[in-house]
């Protein structure tokens, strides 16, 4: 049983400069997390929607990446500018944002 209606994990992993794997933090993950968290808070939905930072989700080449449960929908390349669309369309209306999806064939 899930404690939240939606639970989104955003990779904020950081690696040393020059690491060939790259990381999500250096590509703007924290700005996405912060923006999304504020939207949830402003909407008074903190008991229903939870936004958490996470460590590496092993999809580094596509970062920043995020995954939404309970449905297990993955996003790639999310930025602060994408947060409103993810919030409105997916977290509120249950319709994943197609253009940002990390598809199984890419994983």
| Closest separation in Å from C-beta 89 to ligand FES | 23
- Please identify, using beta-carbon distances, which residue of 19 and 42 lies nearer to ligand FES: 19
| Closest separation in Å from C-beta 1 to ligand FES | 27
- Please identify, using beta-carbon distances, which residue of 32 and 87 lies nearer to ligand FES: 32
- Please identify, using beta-carbon distances, which residue of 56 and 80 lies nearer to ligand FES: 56
H/E/C letters for each residue in the chain? CCCCCEEEEEECCCCCCCCCCCCCHHHCHHHHHHHHHHHHHHCCCCCCEEEEEECCCCCHHHCCCEEEECCCEEECCCCHHHHHHHHHHHHHCCCCCHHHECCHHHC
Q: Does position 10 bind ligand FES by CB under 6 A?
A: no
Chain residues 24-63 in contact with ligand FES, contact rule CB under 6 A? 24, 56-60, 63
């Amino acid at each position: 049983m899930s404690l939240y209606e939606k639970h989104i994990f955003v990779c904020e992993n950081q690696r040393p400069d020059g690491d060939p794997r790259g990381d999500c933090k250096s590509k703007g993950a924290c700005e996405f997390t912060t923006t999304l968290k504020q939207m949830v808070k402003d909407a008074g939905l903190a008991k229903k929607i939870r936004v958490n930072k996470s460590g590496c989700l092993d999809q580094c080449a596509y970062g920043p990446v995020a995954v939404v449960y309970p449905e297990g929908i993955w996003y790639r390349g999310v930025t602060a500018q994408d947060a409103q669309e993810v919030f409105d369309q997916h977290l509120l209306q249950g319709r994943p944002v197609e253009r940002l999806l990390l598809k199984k064939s890419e994983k």
